[in-house]
Amino acid sequence: MKPHFGKIISELRSSIGQKFIYTDNEKLEAYNFDGTDLRYWPDIVVEPENRGQVSQLMKIATKYRIPVIPRGAGTGVTGGALPVKGGIVLSLLRMNKILSIDEINMTAFVEPGVINLDLHHAVSEKGLYYPPDPASYDTSTIGGNIAEDAGGPHCFKYGTTRDYILGLEIVLSDGTIMNTGVQTRKGVVGYDLTNLIVGSEGTLAIVTKAILRLIPLPARTITLLAFFSDIQTLAGDACFQNDALDVLLAESSEKRENLWAVRRKFRDLIKERSQFKFSEDVTVPIRQIPQLIEGARKIAAKHEFQNYNYGHLGDGNVHVNFTHHHKDETIVRRSESVVRELFELTVKLGGTISGEHGIGITKMNFLEIELSKKSIELQKKIKQVFDPLNILNPFKIFPPE
Ligand SMILES: Cc1cc2nc3c(=O)[nH]c(=O)nc-3n(C[C@H](O)[C@H](O)[C@H](O)COP(=O)(O)OP(=O)(O)OC[C@H]3O[C@@H](n4cnc5c(N)ncnc54)[C@H](O)[C@@H]3O)c2cc1C
């Protein structure tokens, strides 16, 4: 433990409560990873159960200028929840209450540690529906989904997490608790701080409560599996009746679940077949998907990697996977050129380097491929306004100067 931490720990214990503060190895290890293969150890773990404790934590962190890294389930795949230079990991998993579900207003008030799937079950019992459904929906939290603006298969039709957040309760870096947004479907008072926090990867504020927009539960769900001869046909004006080689209909909820279970396994199946795998969630206008896939194949061939693509084609969001049967320093270095070339192609096609996984630490060196200098400068100023001491999830999104 760093020498000056003794004082910080005793202050945390006396103001937040002994049982919410951890420094033992077992606990620190449980928070040193996320959905990447990277490992960074925190110095302290805090697991609060209410916003007052989060606020106290930030006041102490401000006093000692110590980094605080908000964390949900740790399924993020760009390193957003990793304590890259140590500090305090703030786990929001204990704040996991669904506070209310209002059938008339069609809203839910939830704490950030609620698991996405638990929310789905709770609202569907009342005939309501919360569409955002990342493939990690049985583990990832609403707080993490908000911080990453997570999407999933249903987002093609219904939109991403952002489209279902009406308002937030947040704790700022100095410990101030404040509300953003509205409880209503409409609201245009002042700047849209809610939308600024959504997708900000825990770098601007800590979400301690969310007001979610719900919609009526769809009366019927039809799930089809269609086969096309090539991606060009699919990305064009594909007509199931005329262009699909075959179409399978999931005739029961069990069969539907089986289809989706196969889809959710893609990631692991690709990983199992190689020593080294990396993937990017680039997104292009749907008409450009064939060019993106063709380009990805060429990049893979040029650098001697294998390439597998799947994703949310209706959103233009392709999970471009590259694998190698071997992993060493040269291959890892070569993978950086692969990623850079893929991102350059994506932006050239009018796309974005991240459709849903965020920038975190794994993509920050590529930020300038998509954003202008002016845009990065402006965004850094926004970060400074929210977090002048740079203690809230620092060293994320923007590359070090
Ligand atoms: C198998 C698998 C499948 C996945 N599929 C998808 C998918 O289909 N779509 C998709 O979008 N993503 C997907 N992901 C990525 C990941 O699940 C999402 O980014 C998810 O939203 C992260 O939620 P989490 O609770 O695990 O957050 P964490 O990983 O713990 O944190 C992610 C980021 O959110 C911040 N954060 C967490 N909670 C808060 C809070 N309360 N306030 C402020 N900041 C906070 C953290 O600081 C960090 O920057 C997948 C990941 C895995 C491992």
- Please state, in angstroms and rounded to a whole number, the distance separating the CA atoms of residues 377 and 371: 10
Residue that terminates a domain, selected from 76, 94, 112: 94
* Pocket of ligand 1, beta carbon within 6 A: 34-35, 69-77, 80-81, 92, 112, 134-136, 140-141, 143-145, 147-148, 150-152, 201-202, 206-207, 267, 356-357, 393
Q: How many whole angstroms from 54 Cα to the centroid of ligand 1?
A: 20
In terms of domains, do 84 and 115 share one? Answer: no
Amino acid at residue number 223: T
Q: How many whole angstroms from 200 Cα to the centroid of ligand 1?
A: 12
288 in any annotated domain: yes
Q: Classify burial at 221, counting beta carbons within 10 Å of its beta carbon; exposed 0-12, middle 13-18, buried 19 or more.
A: exposed
CB contact at 8 A, 383 and 398: yes
Q: How many whole angstroms from 356 Cα to the centroid of ligand 1?
A: 9
Q: Is the dihedral of CA 21, 27, 29, 30 positive or negative?
A: negative
pLDDT value, residue 159: 96
Question: In this structure, what token pair is assigned to residue 395?
Answer: 């060293």
In terms of domains, do 134 and 34 share one? Answer: no
pLDDT value, residue 273: 86
**In ligand 1, which atom is closest to the CA atom of 160?**
11
375 in any annotated domain: no
| Cα-to-chain-centroid distance, residue 221 | 26
Residue that terminates a domain, selected from 94, 121, 142: 94
pLDDT value, residue 313: 85
- Please state, in angstroms and rounded to a whole number, the distance separating the CA atoms of residues 76 and 56: 26
Report the nearest-CA residue for atom 34 of ligand 1. 144
In terms of domains, do 142 and 235 share one? Answer: no
pLDDT value, residue 111: 98
- Please state, in angstroms and rounded to a whole number, the distance separating the CA atoms of residues 78 and 202: 13
Residue that terminates a domain, selected from 94, 119, 142: 94
Q: Kindly provide the residue ranges of all beta strands, DSSP E only, lying in 38-183, ordered along the sequence.
A: 44-46, 68-71, 88-91, 98-102, 107-110, 128-129, 165-171, 177-181
386 in any annotated domain: no
Question: In this structure, what token pair is assigned to residue 115?
Answer: 């698991």
Q: How many whole angstroms from 298 Cα to the centroid of ligand 1?
A: 31
pLDDT value, residue 23: 97
Domain count, the chain: 3
In terms of domains, do 172 and 64 share one? Answer: no
Q: What is the CATH number of the domain that holds 241?
A: 3.30.70.2740
**In ligand 1, which atom is closest to the CA atom of 312?**
8
How many Cβ atoms are within 10 Å of 208's Cβ, its own excluded? 24
pLDDT value, residue 235: 72
Among 45, 49, 77, residue to substitute to test ligand 1 (most atoms within 8 Å of Cβ)? 77
Among 148, 269, 357, residue to substitute to test ligand 1 (most atoms within 8 Å of Cβ)? 148
pLDDT value, residue 75: 98
In terms of domains, do 159 and 110 share one? Answer: yes
Report the nearest-CA residue for atom 21 of ligand 1. 145
In terms of domains, do 287 and 252 share one? Answer: yes
In terms of domains, do 160 and 238 share one? Answer: no
ipTM at complex level: 0.99
Q: How many whole angstroms from 141 Cα to the centroid of ligand 1?
A: 7
390 in any annotated domain: no
Mean pLDDT of the chain: 95
Kindly report the backbone phi and psi dihedral angles of residue 389, in degrees, each rounded to the nearest multiple of 5, phi listed first.
-90, 0
pLDDT value, residue 251: 87
pLDDT value, residue 238: 66
- Please state, in angstroms and rounded to a whole number, the distance separating the CA atoms of residues 355 and 318: 9
Question: In which domain, by residue range, is 60 found?
Answer: 5-94
CB contact at 8 A, 167 and 181: yes
Among 140, 194, 310, residue to substitute to test ligand 1 (most atoms within 8 Å of Cβ)? 140
In terms of domains, do 120 and 183 share one? Answer: yes
Which residues in the chain land under pLDDT 70? 1-3, 237-241
pLDDT digits (tens, 9 = 90+) for 15-36: 999 999 999 999 999 999 999 9
